[in-house]
Amino acid sequence: MAAKDTGRVLVEEWRDILALHARTQCELDRELHQHGLGASDFEVLDVLAESRAEDGSCSYRVQEIADRVHLSQSALSRLIARLEKDGLVSRGMCSEDRRGVRVVLTDAGRVRHTEVLPVQRAVLSRMLRPS
């Protein structure tokens, strides 16, 4: 009986986590849409903004981004193509591995990230630390 109750509690906790994630993701999408971004778009910009290569650029290999933003390779490729079309990132060959692609935050991407960062942080604060 106790094992069954423990299992049920775990399932309820898991569903609570999923519900909080879904609500937060929707709220992020709603707020960021006003700035021409979705939650996943911003997440990629945020990951890139946190990185600093030796030359001072903000860049990651596509696989490194995929590991951090939890998108499939194909979904991430489409998202990066859209961000590149909007001038927020650029793609280039990876000097360490010619098969790899490196994604770099452009100046416009850095400006957009800086403008939208307070919006994203406010949503996270409101959703994850309710008063």
**105 pLDDT more than 60:** yes
Task: Give the CA distances from residue 53 to residues 21, 58, 64, 104, 120, in Å, rounded to whole numbers and listed in that order.
Answer: 31, 6, 13, 10, 24
Q: What is the pLDDT of residues 40-52, one digit of tens each?
A: 999 999 999 987 6
Strands (E) across the chain are located at 59-61, 89-93, 101-105
Range of the domain at 94: 2-128
How far is it, in rounded angstroms, from Cα 93 to Cα 56?
A: 17
CATH code for the domain of 38: 1.10.10.10
pTM across the whole model: 0.84
Which of residues 51 and 17 earns the better pLDDT score?
Answer: 17
| 73 contacts 65 by C-beta, under 8 angstroms | no
Total domains in the fold of the chain? 1
Q: Which residues, listed in sequence order, are joined to residue 90 by a DSSP beta bridge?
A: 104
